[in-house]
Amino acid sequence: MTNTSEGTSTPATTAGDTSDLLLALLARRDATCPLCGYSLKGLTTSKCPECGTELELHIRPTHPRMAAWTTGLVGLASGFGFYLIILGFFTWAAILDGHVGDLFTEVWPMWLGLWVYGGLVLVWTKLMRWLRRCTRRTRILLAVSCWGFTAGGSVALIWLLLVVVF
Ligand SMILES: [Zn+2]
């Protein structure tokens, strides 16, 4: 007897199935290879005849809902970048002055900011799938919050530089 799918962990859609569906689709519709742009209409195997790339069929949402997540990521990464640039400037100045030890005592808020924004960027990347399922209102609110947090952190750092350092 041949092995059936009963009791095995074989996914409902196996590679063979998607390959058949892919070929059935390409028998009726034209599509181009995502890598080389070659026309795949009438394809007989699941490989691009031009570049040899293995192809498979996928299901994707019509609206990927990535705008809010991307906006938030750019916001938080900007905060990280701002702290990194300022810290880099102070590191350079400290090396020139020969007071490198001060980098770990006097400019601790910059290190703190760097860790906070770095941590938030990491958390935000983990939230991508979750955020895409949120309502539009929540997505916008969180994306704006990321930029708000970066704006607040940047203003705080500028204030610190003007009042405490200079
Ligand atoms: Zn190709």
Q: pLDDT for 9-50, tens place per residue?
A: 444 445 557 789 999 999 999 999 999 999 999 999 999 999
Other residues' Cβ atoms within 10 Å of the Cβ of residue 86: 20
Q: Tens digit of pLDDT for each residue in 65-117?
A: 999 999 999 999 999 999 999 999 888 888 888 877 777 677 888 899 999 99
What's the Cα-to-Cα distance from 111 to each of 49, 106, 108, rounded to whole Å?
Answer: 53, 10, 5
Percentages of the chain per state (helix, strand, coil), in multiples of 5: 65, 0, 35
- Number of Cα atoms under 13 Å in the Cβ half of residue 92: 6
Instruction: Delimit the domains of the chain by residue range.
Output: 1-59, 67-165
Alpha-carbon span 154 to 166, nearest angstrom: 16
* Whether this model's pTM surpasses 0.85: no
pLDDT value of position 108: 84
Instruction: Find, among 5, 4, 46, the residue nearest to 24 by Cα.
Output: 46
Q: How far is the CA of 129 from the centre of ligand 1 (A)?
A: 30
Q: Which residues surround ligand 1, an ion (CB under 5 A)?
A: 33, 35-36, 38, 48, 50-51, 53
- Tokens describing residue 48: 């691009």
